[in-house]
A and B are shown apart, each in its own frame.
Chain A
Amino acid sequence: GENVEQHPSTLSVQEGDSAVIKCTYSDSASNYFPWYKQELGKRPQLIIDIRSNVGEKKDQRIAVTLNKTAKHFSLHITETQPEDSAVYFCAARGGGGADGLTFGKGTHLIIQP
């Protein structure tokens, strides 16, 4: 089955700086890679996603890059703000008809004022 590794587990950055979270996946047939933001005790919120036929996608301060050859994808947040503090999860949907998501272990992003 699919295996997703996520790093770092904790990331502390100064407000206004950029944050980068990286994930790798094992199933070369995986075709969809979403990123979720989860605040304590709340539901995961989809913040951006990318399909396997695209290398990069951007939405305002958030961007995701995908390297299919290396099987890794990254989340980039620029101009970080205090409200960006949360746990971020990457996920991958495997190939072969698999429909559910395999999640990384999460990154606790802390924005220092």
Chain B
Amino acid sequence: GAVVSQHPSWVICKSGTSVKIECRSLDFQATTMFWYRQFPKQSLMLMATSNEGSKATYEQGVEKDKFLINHASLTLSTLTVTSAHPEDSSFYICSARTSGRNEQYFGPGTRLTVT
């Protein structure tokens, strides 16, 4: 149980284009989903928290107009990186949590490379 999937697993895009990443909870209802970014050999940094049906809460320093988050259902959240630049290249990982539980379960991550 508690399986989280992400799609795509990797993507290469040109500078200035937008990329959408999907995060799905496969066998539970994710009332809250989180998006993290991880640079090579570094830790995970929380970007934003989203609750189903509500606007996402962004961490300080994360541009909400650049990283668009939608959590339209209890099993799906999307992160759209708009006008991507090479410095946005990173490993983006989502996690999901169900109401009343502490545990966060992570997706397999999406490696984004912006050329």
Q: Determine if A43 is an interface residue (Cβ-Cβ < 8 Å).
A: yes
CA distance A51 to B103 in the complex (A): 11
Instruction: Decide if B108 touches A42 in the complex (CB within 8 Å).
Output: yes
Instruction: Please tell me if the beta carbons of B42 and A46 are within 8 angstroms of each other in the complex.
Output: no
The main secondary structure of chain A at its interface with chain B is strand
Count of chain B residues near A, Cβ 8 A: 20
Partner of A93, one of B42, B43, B60, B102: B102
Cβ-closest chain A residue relative to B108: A43
Report the minimal beta-carbon distance from B6 to chain A, rounded to whole angstroms.
Answer: 9
Contact count A vs B, C-beta below 8 Å: 48
Instruction: Choose from B42, B44, B49, B59 the contact partner of A44 (Cβ within 8 Å).
Output: B44
Of the residues A42, A46, A104, contact of B104 by C-beta under 8 Å: A46
Sample of 6 A–B contacts (CB below 8 Å) = A42-B109, A49-B102, A100-B49, A103-B43, A106-B42, A106-B43
Residues on A lying within 8 angstroms of B by beta carbon are 1, 32, 34, 36, 41-46, 49, 51, 89, 93, 99-106
